[in-house]
Amino acid sequence: MTKDKKPYTILVIEDNLGDFTIVEEFLLEQILIPTIFRAINFKETEHIIANNNINFDVVLLDLSLPDKSEVNLVISITKLITNCPIIILTGFTDIDFSIKSISLGIADYLLKDDLTATMLYKSIIYTIQRKKAINELKESEKRYSNLFHASPLPMWVYDIETLRFVQVNNAAIKHYGYTETEFLNMTILDIRPDDEIEKVIEIFEDKSRHITGIFKGNFKHQKKSGELIDVEISSTPLIISNKQFISVIANDITEKNRYEQKITKAIIKTQEDERYEVGTELHDNVCQILATSKIRFKMLEKLLPETELPKFIDGIKYMDLAFKEIRNLSHRLAPSFLSDTSIADACKTLFSSLNIDHECTLVLCIDDDFKALKTSK
């Protein structure tokens, strides 16, 4: 039989030398080189724990010691030794006590009369692995708790059935203005404005019972002060004690949205200004060039023979068509100028663009169809 080569360090708390010898033989039968310590009573156990910097892999405990026994012994030992599993080895067959000892923190409960080397070894391996898994779980929970409370973003956990908050971090308390006690007496609907509650309920009716991954969405939230904020939500399902909860990270994007709107307006305005400039250039300069060309072209009409007049007339038509197309294009390039500008400002822009070096009178004629239009103000 191949023995386990791992260097286990084991503390056996047993006052009966015969029982200790049997346990020692069982250990040597399964483990190649175990390091075994023995204590004959609780006081000696305290001395070993206090004066030896030893990390035991497992403790084997007899329930009847000269100075302590049964419940008092179990309570004292579990308080004294917290970093490794404890296995009880006893001659008592009290089922109720075995159940109670497990609830007090004992890893396993073995009867001496039924004990074998294989049974003891399997129990040791199992309890060590289980203790390791429990410690890793606790460490993971601790890290999550630290990250949860240290997060600069508001976070909370809520019950998917009742929608009640069950945990909130400091950032949520600070950002929303509610105390922790107030939060824990609220549901997630209480931080929504009235016009968003129906939307949230619809989402839960469709998806909450079947959430299997991360859900993201943008919502309106309401602080205790009544201030409305834009929030980007990321939620993840959690299963705790066979019950479903949702973990939420809330990122306030109110300022981000405001800046984006300002940037978008600035970009649109820049684009519209450029379009207006191009449209004005087409309308004022190119059209003037075409108009001048047409005048010069018309001056040639009397010099042409009648046989060439049809071609001349076609040329004039094409120039008129080009003139019309350029005007239409320039108006399409700068439509927002008229919609975003008052008549007074539009007239100032128009007058300032005219090349007039002397005084003149301008007459504004308003079309009857325009007079009939209804304004929004």
**Segment 167-176, tens digit of pLDDT:** 999 999 999 9
Is the per-residue pLDDT at 106 higher than 90? yes
For residue 254, what pLDDT band results from cuts at 50, 70 and 90?
A: very high
What CATH number belongs to 152-252?
A: 3.30.450.20
- Paired strand residues for 90: 111
Give, rounded to a whole angstrom, the gap between the first and last alpha carbons of the chain. 97
Q: What is the pLDDT of residues 293-305, one digit of tens each?
A: 878 778 877 788 8
Is the per-residue pLDDT at 2 higher than 80? yes
pLDDT score, position 204? 76
pLDDT score, position 377? 47
Alpha-helical regions (H) of 37-193: 42-51, 70-80, 95-103, 117-150, 170-176, 180-184
The whole-number average pLDDT for the span 111-138 is 93
Token pair recorded at residue 192: 């929504």
- CB within 8 A of 353, min separation 6: which ones? 280, 284
Q: What is the pLDDT of residues 213-239, one digit of tens each?
A: 778 889 999 999 999 999 999 999 888
Q: Return phi, psi of residue 375, to 5°.
A: -90, 160
Token pair recorded at residue 232: 């980007």
Q: What is the CATH topology of the domain spanning 9-147? A: Rossmann fold (3.40.50)
Q: What is the mean pLDDT of the chain?
A: 86
- Paired strand residues for 235: 215, 248
Is the per-residue pLDDT at 208 higher than 60? no
Name the residue with higher pLDDT: 273 or 355: 273
Is the per-residue pLDDT at 327 higher than 80? no
Q: What is the DSSP letter of 209?
A: G
Q: pTM value?
A: 0.53
Q: What is the pLDDT of residues 281-324, one digit of tens each?
A: 776 777 778 788 878 778 877 788 888 888 888 888 888 888 78
- Paired strand residues for 259: none
Query: Per-domain residue ranges for the chain?
Result: 9-147, 152-252, 257-372
Decide if 9-147 and 152-252 have a common fold.
no
**Rounded Cα–Cα distance for residues 54 and 51 (Å):** 9
CA 316 to chain centre: 68
pLDDT score, position 250? 96
For residue 17, give the H/E element and its range. Answer: helix 17-30
> Interhelix angle for 254-280 vs 309-333, to 10°?
160
